[in-house]
Structure formats: structure tokens, C-alpha cells
Chain A
Amino acid sequence: MLFKNLFLSIFLLFSVIGCSEQKVASKPTINIWHWMTDRDPAFQELAKKYEALTGVKVNFELYAPSDAYSQKIRAAAQGSNLPDIFGILGEKRDFASFIKAGHILDLTSYMEADNNSWENSFFPKALAVNEFASQNSYGIKPGIFGVPIDIMTIQMVYNKKLFTQLGLNPNRPPKTLQEFLDLGAKIKAAGMQGLVSGWGEVWMIDCLANNYAFNIMGKDKVLATIKGEVPYMDPDWIKVFTIFKQMKDSGILAQGLVTMINKSAEQLFANEKAVFAFNGSWCVNVYKGMNPGLEYGSMLPPAASEKYPISIWGGAGSSFMVNARSKNKEEAVKFLVWLTSQDQQAYLATATNNLPANKNSLSKIPEVMAQFARGMDYATHPNVWGVSEFSMVIEAFDRGIQSIIIGEKTPEQVADEVQKIKERELAKKRAK
């Protein structure tokens, strides 16, 4: 009997709590869902500032990790419950789907207002990630649909102290691939690890492979390959695959690279066990937390060819979009304008060690971050190319490189496999 009563009372208690009413606010509240755990304190500070300034309440809700965040956004989209401001993690294709489904507000008119003042405050490459150009392959009418709140680049970093130990000039990192590979033997002999990176998470492999592809054959040929006009069996692509084989053979790659998650790679670099790391500009914040005394510098991946410049991935780090169906659209946009203005961007940059998206905020950031920021000149990003490769092909591509690194397949084998899958996907597309 006691149990029954207890159960009933719990049931009743929750029915009451469950039916809580929505409070009607006098001034609008802007709801923002984000996944950036590290920046949440800074966001909360800014929310308070904004409320003091304008009386509009801004509610930042954190949902982490990013996988869970994506699922929540998708579920909310299905249930038409999206907040006023949110972000879309994933590929341009998904972004396009959201826009087509009517969830995203077109921000072009706001950007172009006042002689494009908002638009011009950003690094063009940061904005490009959120833009759809005319005649893009996704079928979206051209325009700007998102707002970058920081930029990031993915480059290499090297440990200056270890360089000195190895007898190398700490201010002169390797510029060519051959120099880089030659260091392999030296590093091994000294008992250190060479390059660490989160290659258990395949997208980082994809990034570096793509950087070299641009370097070896130039942007146009890479895009042509994606469009299906050039096969992966092309000698230039075999060269790209072979680079990984060369890296493996030279001993420059750290042990267990293929199962490494990026966080482990960051620990290893921060603890000075590895000489090189391939990581994004967010690492400044990470390394600072793990080892404030770390002496390191950033460098571009050493070029394999002189024909075309080496490129890196860079662009908007995180972006926010406005819910097209939100009741507080105007207020939301106003908030985003404020968030991306010079002072707020500088604040975010110093508080969280991320690069500002507002190009006028650069003067106030520490040196090593400035080095990263300079890399933006070489930056590109899949989301700005206007075409996307089939995800099955990308998967086979990345897994193929993993196989090359562990010595299970040859570059030619992988090229062959990837091409086969590409042809299968192309055939499927034509059949539709």
C-alpha cells in the first residue's frame, strides 16, 4: 500500500511539474542553442552585457558534445521546435537541406544594408563558408545564410624546444616535403615521435590529403575530379596517395597514428613527446591549458610540389544561423550583428583563444594566434567549392589512406578502389 501511495504521489508531482506554463515575457527573449563548451562562460558574459545594454534577454543553452547537438537540432527541425539562433554542424549539403526545408533565414539583405557594412566587416573567406554562390550545385538561390563568429585554420605546429634538441633551427621549420621526410630518421634516432594528429577521426586525413592535392594538381583539377571529369587513377592523385606512403616509410609519422583521436594527439604534443602536430587553430587554447610553457610555432604543411601553392583548410570556425520561423527574427539578427562587431570579437578572441571573424579585431591577439591567422591567405574549405564529393567516395578515400599508412594497401590499389566507388555513385546519380 505504501508503495502504491508513493508511486501515485510521484506521478502526481510530475504531472504538475510537467504541465508547467510558459511565462509570457514583456521583452523578447532570444534563445540560442550552441555546442561550444569552452566558450559558454564567455557567451554568458556577453549575454549579460547585451541585456544591460538593450534590455533584451539572451539565453545561451549549451548542448554538448557536438554529435548530440546535431541530433538535437535535427530532431527539433522535425518537430518545428528550433530556437531563434542555432548552428548547423556538418557539410554544405546538410546546410542546403535545412535551407530548402525553410528553417534558415536569408541574411543577404541584412548583410548588404548600409553599403554592405556588416558583410565587409568579416574576412571574406569566413563568410564564404556561409554563402551560396550563383549557380551552385545545391540548387539554393545565391545569398548569405549564416554568420561566422570565429575563423580557424588547420595547419601544422612544431615544437621549438625539440627542434633545438635535434640540432635544427627553431625559427626555420621545413618548407618542402623532402626536408620534412628527411627529419624522420633523425627524430626516430632521438627516440621522439614525429607527426601526431587525430587520424582515427578520418576527416583530418581528408584535410591533409586535400591540401596536398591542391598543391600537386591545383584547385581546378581537384574540383574537376569531384565533378567526375578526372578519375582518381590519374597520376597526380597517385602522387597524393604516395605521399602518405612516403611519410610512413620515412618514420616521420608517430606510432599508432591511425587510431589516434585528436585529443590524444593534443596531449602528446602538449607534453612535448611529439615534434610536429597537424591541428587546427583551436589548439592554442588546448595547449595553453595543458602546458602553458610550451614553445611552439605554426607552419604550413611542407609543400610537395612547386607548381601550385600549398593550401590549408580554413574559414569560419563556428557559425550561427537564424531560424526563419522564429518570432524574434529581427532581434536575433540585431544580436548577431552586435556579437560579431569589433569589440565583442576581440573579447571572444582573448577570452577563448579563438581567431576573430571580424577582421578589425586582429590587432589585439597573441603572436602565435596571429601566425595562424596569417595562414588564412592560403586557406580554402570544402564548403566554398560549390561541389561536394559523394560521402561514400570520401569514406573510401580516407579509409584507403589509413590502409596505406598501416601498410595494407598500395597507393595504386587505393586509387583503383576509390575510382570504382566513384563510378558506382556516378551511375546511381545518372539513373535518378
Chain B
Amino acid sequence: MKQAVYYKSKKILINILIHVFLISVAITCLYPLLWMISSSLKTQDMIFKDISLIPHQFRLENYVLAWKEGGFGRNFFNSIIYTVSVVFGIVIVSSMAAYAFSRLRFVGSKFLFIIFMAAMMIPIPGSFVALYVLLNKLHLRNTPIGYILCMINVGLSTSIFLLKTFFDKMPKELEDAARIDGCSKIGIWWHVAIPLAKPVLAVVIVLNALTVWNEYILALIIFDNRSFMPLQVALQSFQGEFVTNYPLLMAGLTITALPIILVYLFMQKYIIKGVTQGAVVG
């Protein structure tokens, strides 16, 4: 009896410690977000005078102002289009390539893979100028397609790397079964590999969505037309040369952070689903 109680209380103690640990980390994560939201509800002169998390008055109109002054409507829409297109593009292109590197044999596969990996590691400073000139020559400069293609390239190496690592770990039995059933390579890729890789795909999606959503400098340099600009560029207009309109900036940043949090919320379910749906061998 005594032993059972001992083990049970040990278990409870461990559980409590784990919860304390989790909660304290969670608090540090939440604080800046709450600070951002509470600042967005204050007025310019109160922001640094009043440091409490709960503002004295709730200036919800800051959000409306931020939306209007930042010209958010169009730019928000643009950001969504770019993010969806790029993520979609990367998922298809990188999963195909990763599958090939992992499972298919062809000349130069190792060489190509190493090149992709090397690309991940060599940042190109001043690549903006190079891309600008390049897109200019291709007549793709002031166009959404040009921007989307550039951004697909940005996330390509890392996504291929992530996916290949997971494909390598994948049990081969299912693929063999599908092949025996007469499935073509594309079919195996689409019907077997992709569903199994759902957790990793979720990570790839979130990673790239975040990158594209938060990108602004390439967009600013490549686009001359205001109506093509993504959200982040519009946000920068609150950070004046000399005067920063903090409440509106915070409101803008909050509006900007929300969609990504939603994407994450949606994707993280797939990480769980991937386990329950994925065929487990053994």
C-alpha cells in the first residue's frame, strides 16, 4: 500500500512541476503579446507613461484608424494571395524534389541535393539588387508572379531539407505495396508519401507562411506599384522617419499577427492528426 501511495504522490508531484514549468514559460510568451495589444489600445502619449497592461481607456478606434491609414484592405488581400501561392508552390515543388532525393535513384541526385543544402547555408548579401536586375531582364519585375517565384525560392532549400529527412525515415512497406498495386511514381507520391508526411508538411507550411507573411524588403524593392505591396510594407508607414505612431503601429502589428496565429492553430491539428491517421507499421 505504502509503495502505491509513494508512486502516486511522486507522479502527482512530477505532474505539478511539469505544469509549473509549462505555465511559467507560457507567461513569458504571453507577456509581449499582451503588451502589444494593450499598447494598441492606448494613446500616443500614454504608451510609455502608463506601463500597466490594462489601459485606462480602450481606444478600439485605433484598429479602425490603423486599417484605414495603413491602407490595409488591399495590402492585406495581397499578403494573403502571396502567402497562399508561395506556400502552395513550395509544398508541391519541395515535396516532389524531396521525395525524389529520398526515394528515387538518378544520376546527380546526391550532387543536386548537396547544392541545395549549400544554398541554405550561404546567405547572399545584396541579393535584393541581383534579384531586381534579374527580374527586370525577365520582365517580371513589377509583377506578383515575379515576387511569388522569388519567395518560393527563398523557402525551397530548407523545405526540401526538412521533407527529405522525414521521407528517409518513412517505412517503405506502404510504398512497395502501392507499387505492387500498379501505382505510378506520381501516384505513390500523392497517395502515400504526402499523407504520411502530414506533420512535416504542417511544419513546412507554417515556416514558409511566416516567412512570406513577414517579408517586406524584397517587396518594397521589387514593386513600384502601391497596389501590389504586401501588408508589412503598409505597416512600415507607421514607423515614421522621426515620429513613430506607436498605438497605430501596435494595432497594425496585432492585425498582422492574427492570421499567422490562425494558420498555426489550423496546422497544429494536423500534427496530431498525422499520428492517428498515419498508418503505423509494427
**Contact between chain A and chain B defined by CB under 8 Å:** yes
- A residues engaging B (CB < 8 A)? 3, 6-7, 10-11, 14-15, 17-19, 35-38, 40, 61-66, 68, 71-72, 74-76, 78-79, 81, 263, 267, 270-271, 282-283, 285-286, 289-292
B45 touches A290 (CB 8 A): yes
Which residue of the partner chain, among A3, A10, A78, A285, contacts B242 with CB atoms under 8 Å?
Answer: A285
- Shortest CB distance B278–A (Å): 20
Among B22-67, those with CB < 8 Å from A are 44-45, 48-49
Q: Which residues of B contact A81 (CB under 8 A)?
A: 136, 141, 224
A64 touches B129 (CB 8 A): no
In the A-B complex, the 6 residue pairs with the closest CB atoms: A18-B143, A37-B240, A75-B132, A282-B242, A79-B136, A38-B240
A19 touches B220 (CB 8 A): no
B143 touches A17 (CB 8 A): yes
> Is B243 at the interface (CB under 8 A from chain A)?
yes
- With known contacts A7-B88, A68-B221, A71-B221, A17–B144 Cβ distance under 8 A: yes
Give Cα distance in the complex from A76 to B183, angstroms.
Answer: 51
Other 16 A-B pairs with CB < 8 A, given A18-B144, A37-B237, A292-B45:
A3-B88, A11-B145, A14-B145, A35-B241, A37-B240, A37-B241, A61-B226, A63-B220, A64-B239, A65-B241, A71-B129, A72-B221, A78-B133, A81-B224, A270-B45, A289-B44
Closest to B226 in A: A61
- With known contacts A38-B242, A75-B129, A78-B132, A14–B144 Cβ distance under 8 A: yes
Closest to A291 in B: B45
> Is B163 at the interface (CB under 8 A from chain A)?
no
Among B133-153, those with CB < 8 Å from A are 133, 136, 140-141, 143-146, 148
Give Cα distance in the complex from A38 to B221, angstroms.
Answer: 21
Give Cα distance in the complex from A24 to B243, angstroms.
Answer: 38
A64 touches B240 (CB 8 A): yes
Q: Which residues of B contact A283 (CB under 8 A)?
A: 242
Closest to A41 in B: B69
A290 touches B44 (CB 8 A): yes
Identify 12 residue pairs between A and B in the complex whose beta-carbon atoms are under 8 Å apart, listed by A's number.
A7-B89, A10-B81, A10-B85, A18-B146, A37-B236, A37-B237, A37-B238, A38-B241, A38-B243, A64-B239, A65-B236, A74-B129
- Shortest CB distance A198–B (Å): 11
Among B62-95, those with CB < 8 Å from A are 81, 84-85, 88-89, 92
Q: Which residues of A contact B85 (CB under 8 A)?
A: 10, 14
- Shortest CB distance A406–B (Å): 25
Among B187-232, those with CB < 8 Å from A are 216-217, 220-221, 224, 226
A19 touches B143 (CB 8 A): yes
- With known contacts A17-B143, A37-B240, A289-B243, A68–B133 Cβ distance under 8 A: no
- B residues engaging A (CB < 8 A)? 44-45, 48-49, 81, 84-85, 88-89, 92, 128-129, 132-133, 136, 140-141, 143-146, 148, 216-217, 220-221, 224, 226, 233, 236-245
**What DSSP secondary structure best describes chain A's contact surface?**
helix
Closest to A263 in B: B244
A71 touches B217 (CB 8 A): yes
Give Cα distance in the complex from A279 to B39, angstroms.
Answer: 26
Closest to A67 in B: B217
- With known contacts A35-B241, A40-B237, A15–B221 Cβ distance under 8 A: no
- Shortest CB distance A294–B (Å): 10
- With known contacts A14-B144, A37-B237, A79-B133, A72–B45 Cβ distance under 8 A: no
Give Cα distance in the complex from A289 to B133, angstroms.
Answer: 41
- With known contacts A79-B141, A267-B48, A286–B243 Cβ distance under 8 A: yes
B145 touches A68 (CB 8 A): no
Q: Which residues of A contact B238 (CB under 8 A)?
A: 37
Closest to B235 in A: A64
Q: Which residues of B contact A292 (CB under 8 A)?
A: 45
Q: Which residues of B contact A62 (CB under 8 A)?
A: 237
Q: Which residues of B contact A37 (CB under 8 A)?
A: 236-241, 243
A64 touches B243 (CB 8 A): no
B240 touches A15 (CB 8 A): no
- Shortest CB distance A335–B (Å): 19
A14 touches B242 (CB 8 A): no
- Shortest CB distance B63–A (Å): 19
- Shortest CB distance B26–A (Å): 29
Q: Which residues of A contact B236 (CB under 8 A)?
A: 37, 64-65, 68
Closest to B137 in A: A79
Give Cα distance in the complex from A7 to B88, angstroms.
Answer: 8
- With known contacts A17-B143, A64-B237, A75-B221, A286–B136 Cβ distance under 8 A: no
A68 touches B220 (CB 8 A): yes
Q: Which residues of A contact B81 (CB under 8 A)?
A: 10
Which residue of the partner chain, among B48, B220, B242, contacts A72 with CB atoms under 8 Å?
Answer: B220
Give Cα distance in the complex from A63 to B245, angstroms.
Answer: 16
